[in-house]
């Protein structure tokens, strides 16, 4: 799983702090990325010690990790509720998030927003006053150019995400492409989220506006919880 930004100790503290919220009988959304991975491993250890939980993975990668950790898994459409979702973020500002660094934001948004409680795990490098990182947008392959043109009209600068080790585009778990869109400072995330959602061919974008219940920011020593 890719590692970004802050220290491993900070990510571990954030992930394990969120995993401590998991209690017997819960259905838990399992996020994607290196910080959420610490939560998944901690939940796996708790399962090993006798905790009865079921996980709903948000990506192929989180499913593989959860299997390794021996967490019993269920599909999203086989559960009526998700008690808690734990997921990482690429940037956090005023409770709003940019996600999708791992190209998993479409399923992450479904699982995270379906949960009764959505807890974000992050290291301090993710904190900002205002969102300003590029916004990942998952697009149907046929809509790559039309979406890019709509993003330009909305004041953004779109770049097709390419795979680091392959001579080609990143393909999501859903078989689509990812266009990373620079908008500079995002002063009105809700308005931009609406514009992107309304663009034909956009499967999902990485702006998560007002959906986080808590943010656990891990530090090298300890965790700060924002509610
Ligand atoms: C994947 C995501 C990740 O949660 C996000 O990229 C953060 O990852 P990491 O914890 O490795 O920094 O949104 O789509």
pLDDT at 1 over 50: no
pTM: 0.94
Per-residue pLDDT tens digits for 19-45: 999 999 999 999 999 999 999 999 999
Contact 31, 87 (CB under 8 A): yes
Helix%, strand%, coil% for the chain, nearest 5: 35, 30, 40
Residue 2's pLDDT is what? 42
Q: Which of 64, 70, 108, 182 is catalytic?
A: 108
Q: Pairing relation of β-strands 157-160 and 177-182? A: antiparallel
Instruction: Report CA-CA distances (Å) from 177 to 26, 61, 140, 154.
Output: 33, 17, 6, 20
* Annotated binding-site residue? 25: no
Three state DSSP letters for 145-159: HHHHHHHHHCCCEEE
What is the DSSP secondary-structure string of 93-151?
A: ETTEEE--TTS-HHHHHHHHHHEEEEEEEE-GGGB-SSB-SPEEEEE-GGGHHHHHHHH
Instruction: Report CA-CA distances (Å) from 65 to 56, 146, 169, 180, 213.
Output: 12, 36, 24, 26, 25
Place of tokens 């950790």: 69
How many CB atoms lie under 10 A from the CB of residue 132?
15
Place of tokens 């990506």: 59
Contact 95, 227 (CB under 8 A): no
Query: Is 108 noted as a catalytic residue in this protein?
Result: yes
Nearest Cα residue to 117 out of 77, 83, 75:
83
Q: What is the ipTM of this complex?
A: 0.98
Residue 83 Cα to ligand 1 middle (Å): 21
Residue 163's pLDDT is what? 86
Give, for ligand 1, the residue of 4, 16, 31, 101 to mutate: max count of ligand atoms closer than 8 Å to Cβ: 101
Residue 152 Cα to ligand 1 middle (Å): 25
Residue nearest to atom 8 of ligand 1 (CA): 33
Name the average pLDDT for the chain: 95
Average pLDDT over residues 84-100: 97
């Amino acid at each position: 799983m890719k590692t970004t930004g802050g220290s491993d100790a900070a990510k571990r503290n954030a992930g394990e702090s969120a995993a401590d919220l998991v209690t017997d009988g819960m259905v838990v959304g399992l996020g994607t990325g290196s910080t959420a991975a610490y939560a998944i491993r901690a939940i796996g250890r708790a399962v090993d010690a006798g905790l009865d939980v079921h996980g709903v993975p948000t990506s192929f990668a989180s499913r593989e990790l959860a299997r390794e950790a021996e967490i019993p898994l269920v599909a999203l459409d086989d559960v009526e509720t998700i008690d808690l979702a734990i997921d990482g973020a690429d940037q956090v500002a005023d409770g709003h998030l940019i996600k999708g660094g791992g190209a998993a934001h479409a399923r992450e948004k479904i699982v995270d927003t379906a949960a009764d409680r959505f807890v974000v795990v992050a290291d301090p490098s993710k904190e900002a006053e205002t969102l300003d990182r590029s916004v990942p947008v998952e697009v149907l392959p046929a809509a790559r150019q039309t979406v890019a043109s709509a993003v330009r009209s909305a004041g953004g600068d779109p770049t097709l995400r390419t795979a680091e080790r392959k001579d080609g585009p990143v393909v999501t778990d859903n078989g689509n492409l990812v266009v990373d869109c620079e908008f500079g400072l995002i002063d009105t995330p809700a308005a931009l989220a609406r514009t992107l959602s309304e663009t034909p061919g956009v499967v999902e974008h990485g702006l998560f506006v007002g959906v986080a219940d808590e943010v656990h920011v891990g530090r090298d020593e300890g965790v700060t919880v924002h509610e």
